[in-house]
Chain A
Amino acid sequence: MFCIQCEQTMQAPGGKGCSFTQGMCGKSAQTSDQQDLLVATLQGLSAWALKARALNIVDADVDAFVPRTFFATLTNVNFDTQRIIGYTREAVSLREALAASCRAVDPSATVTLAQAAIEPAADLAGLAAQAEAWALDRDVFDVSEEVHGLRLLGLYGLKGAAAYMEHARVLGRVDTDIAKGFHEKMVALADPSDDIETLLALSLDIGQLNFRIMAMLDDGETAMFGHPVPTQVNVNPVAGKAILISGHDLKDLRALLEQTEGTGINVYTNGEMLPAHGYPELKRFKHLAGNYGSAWQNQQREFAAFPGPIIMTSNCLIDPNVGRYADRIYTRSIVGWPGVKHLEGEDFSAVIAQAQAMPGFAETAEAHEITVGFGRQTLLSAADAVIDLVASKQLRHVFLVGGCDGSRQERSYYADFARQVPQDCAVMTLACGKYRFNKHDFGTIGGLPRLLDVGQCNDAYSAVMLAVTLADKLGCGVNDLPLTLVLSWFEQKAIVILLTLLSLGVRDIYTGPTAPAFLNDTLMGVLADRFGMRSIGTVEQDMAAMLSA
């Protein structure tokens, strides 16, 4: 086993990365190894997808399958070895069919990439042996630490991009040109360069590709659910039967709302589903009762205490057995935990039946409301107001404090930071890092709320568009704005967002709580030199530096 992709990867005297019988996330060595084999097989499939395109063959199923299945290897998504092996076999099936289509046009059609020749063994022992050949540390003795680290940066960044591509596809947004770009990046990483500049450029290209993907995703969401508007959300429960839905998939939420209408069951969002309340097409359901719980790392306690069934539509899922709710949680799409009920489609009748059989909340707690829904359109329409507030010196600086949450103690920095932001400054937030401070009352500046919840992690796109619009109107660069990005990361979506920001030329981003373990000091130094990227220090020192810059 070797995995070093998340923020809580093992960092021990013996070395960095999770490499024995289990990862820090709980995935077994077996699952991790099969994920390595899956990734390699997908790279072979992408190679054939490119070959096919050269022969004017575009296979939409393959274009959809590769990013979707790559998403299954993202942190805290799929812990089920059998499901992963199933994906590997399906990938090979698609590959062989595509190869046959190619040879029907050109009998000599072939792909030289070694991964394209993988024939998965029939049994687990055989698969385990095959997986060893595709371990992600197989190059450590052949190349420098920097080259190895940059190859992983590209691979993990592309994994985040794949996740966003899949989210967009669910909302009916696909682009064959972006798909081609995606396949090209998969293949580039399958037999990667050993040149540092080439690898750095590749990572930034992945960032640029992801920018187009996030635009596509934003378009899909707003087309299907409308533009988010500022909305009050109750974060305390109301009496009645209940279903909890977590992850990022708003389409699943709408299906659940439609199916539970009139049943007397209340639907609660959790984690990254909180932004759902801002969308007109979702908030119109009266029984979308509120938000329950906080960020992913607290789910074992929070889900244990929830008196109804739970649906997990994407990351982050952690061991449901710890909280003893494995028999009332359902995974969707590419999510999986061994033994947990999995729903392939949007039929939630089993969940509804279970909710009816469970107690639900006995009482309505006193309501506590927070505001969400500062989506792209709302932000852009406020651009002139923001400029006026800055010009009249009522608004001095805006901090974007957001990203993934996690359990590392040092993440208290983000709570402290947000609360120490001066009264004449505002905070934009997104992703589940917001839960460190989103119940705090930040007040307003000249009518503008001091805390603006922009949405899910992918809604970083909206924050970027606001920055670009402000810069445009002011006739300056994005880096000249009174704006500082303070990003927290945990998994690969955050990594690709960072690559997107760097590829757009955004400088002086503060990252934390720790540096990615696959980027050594030299690489962090390169990112510091070229982009001004730096690690968080203390709240006092950082805030002073940010405000005087």
Chain B
Amino acid sequence: MRAIRRETPDVWTLDLDPAGGHYDYLPGQYALVGVDQDRHVRAYTLSSTPGVTPGLSLTVRRIENGIGSTWLTARVQPGDRLRLSAAQGRFTPEHAPGDAYLLLAAGCGITPVMSMTRWLLTHRPGTPVTVLYHARREQDVIFADEWRALQQRHPCQLTLHRLIREHGREHTQLSATLLSGLVPDIAARTVMSCGPETYMAAASALARQLGVPEARIHSETFLPKNVPAVETAPADAPRHQIVLEPWGDRAETARGGNLLAALEAQGIPMIAACRSGDCGSCKVKVLSGDYRMGAQSALSAQELADGWVLACCCSVEGDLVVSQG
């Protein structure tokens, strides 16, 4: 890491120099980052834009009690090394083609949107880009100066609407009226939204309603599929046991907790190479109990039928009995 800059009261940008001089990524993608001496892994969007921004950067919102964000924003010093995975994710114009874009972002979801916007303005000068940026308060707006500069430099191509809730919900709440009013030609746009689940669900549903074909509606949760649903559980969250057969080892976690994290915390030997649902190395067989799965494409139909799950993308919803083979 070269330097760290504070963007807003709880958002920092880390400027990085890749070892070896290069790091390959597409605008809007994220990387897995080893935090706390690689003891944990968390995903963060690459807020820089390849070929446009001179360096590489991550923009991180500090979540209270968040293992990764606390470590990255408070403990890492300039000169320290961070381990990044290869860039991942399909939330990028290459996988979401279009002749005109509508990018919706809520809160920290603005980071991939900013990366993509810079890229579109540089590489697709004829392509209209409208950004709807939802933030709670004026002080939470990230990249405020840069947005102003981009609007000045690209007055025809870029349209930015800052929808700041403290100025009044009635002007900012996502609705068919708001969208069709701000973006009359929405049906011709590729619509990409990033933010909390409910926000993206609403944006996608409204886009559909206003005539955008399914193939041109994209969203990516800002919490990628392998991050636990809750960084730390509320104190009164129910806790569940995980028993590893045939050894009888016990692990435990709050409801909604990540299975891989729980097993690794107990020192159970696991291989978890990609930690994002692609490689299948962390697969574990659930013999009984309730769980929710995010990604499962690394498992065959037979494996899924036999009860195998990808531990890195599995949320524990009840007491589980599992085995490694």
Contacts and interface: CB of A to CB of B under 8 A. Distances in A.
B313 to A, nearest CB: 13
A10 B271 contact: no
B273 A24 contact: yes
Contacts of A128: 81
Chain A CB count within 10 A is highest, among B19, B20, B22, B273, for B273
B325 A300 contact: yes
B20 A138 contact: yes
A110 interface: no
A18 interface: yes
A368 interface: no
Interface stretch (A319-327, A447-455, A491-499): A319-327
Interface string B44-79: 000000000000000000000000000000000000
Contact of B269 (A20, A24, A135, A322): A322
A12 B278 contact: yes
A22 B272 contact: yes
B86 A19 contact: yes
B134 interface: no
B324 A20 contact: no
A301 interface: yes
A128 B80 CA distance: 13
A157 B278 CA distance: 28
B271 A20 contact: no
Interface string A11-40: 011110011111111100100000000000
A356 B276 CA distance: 46
Number of chain A interface residues as a range? 20 to 34
A503 B85 CA distance: 38
Given A29-B83, A135-B20, A12 B279 contact: yes
B307 to A, nearest CB: 16
Given A20-B273, A24-B271, A132 B19 contact: yes
B122 interface: no
A300 B41 CA distance: 27
Interface in A305-351: 319, 321-322, 324
Contact of A409 (B88, B272, B300): B300
Contact of B86 (A15, A22, A29, A321): A15
Interface residues of B, number: 30
B85 A20 contact: yes
A10 B88 contact: no
A407 B85 CA distance: 25
Interface in B111-148: none
A10 B273 contact: yes
A12 B269 contact: no
B166 interface: no
A20 B20 contact: no
Contacts of B274: 10, 12, 14, 20
B90 interface: yes
Interface string B77-103: 000010101111010000000000000
Helix, strand, loop or mixed for chain B's interface? Answer: loop
A296 B21 CA distance: 39
B213 to A, nearest CB: 23
Contacts of A324: 247
B236 interface: no
Contacts of A129: 19, 81
B87 A14 contact: yes
A13 B273 contact: no
Contacts, number: 74
A399 to B, nearest CB: 27
B86 A20 contact: yes
A21 B300 CA distance: 25
B218 interface: no
A106 B275 CA distance: 55
A23 to B, nearest CB: 6
Nearest to A297: B325
A13 B271 CA distance: 19
Given A12-B279, A135-B20, A22 B32 contact: no
B323 to A, nearest CB: 10
Nearest to A128: B81
A409 B83 CA distance: 32
Contacts of A132: 19-20
Contacts of A321: 269
Contacts of A20: 32, 34, 41, 83, 85-86, 273-275
B198 interface: no
B221 interface: no
A21 B279 contact: no
B167 to A, nearest CB: 40
Given A12-B278, A14-B278, A21 B34 contact: yes
A405 to B, nearest CB: 16
Contacts of B276: 12
A452 to B, nearest CB: 32
Interface in B276-317: 276, 278-279, 281, 300, 302
Interface in B209-267: 247
A205 to B, nearest CB: 30
Given A132-B19, A409-B302, A14 B269 contact: no
Interface in A100-155: 128-129, 132, 135, 138, 141
A210 B38 CA distance: 40
Given A324-B247, A409-B300, A22 B273 contact: yes
A319 B269 contact: yes
Nearest to A23: B273
Contacts of B272: 22
Interface in B1-40: 19-20, 22, 24, 32, 34, 38
Contacts of B278: 10, 12-14
Contact of A322 (B85, B275, B324): B324
Most buried by B among A14, A29, A301, A319: A14
A300 B271 CA distance: 13
Contacts of B90: 13
A205 B296 CA distance: 43
Given A10-B273, A26-B271, A135-B20, A21 B281 contact: no
9 contacts: A10-B279, A10-B281, A13-B90, A14-B278, A21-B34, A23-B273, A24-B271, A26-B271, A319-B269
Given A13-B88, A14-B86, A20-B275, 5 more contacts: A10-B273, A20-B83, A20-B86, A21-B275, A26-B271
Interface of A: 10, 12-15, 18-26, 29, 128-129, 132, 135, 138, 141, 300-301, 319, 321-322, 324, 409
Can you list the 7 inter-chain pairs with the closest CB atoms, starting with the nearest? A12-B278, A321-B269, A20-B85, A14-B86, A10-B279, A14-B88, A26-B271
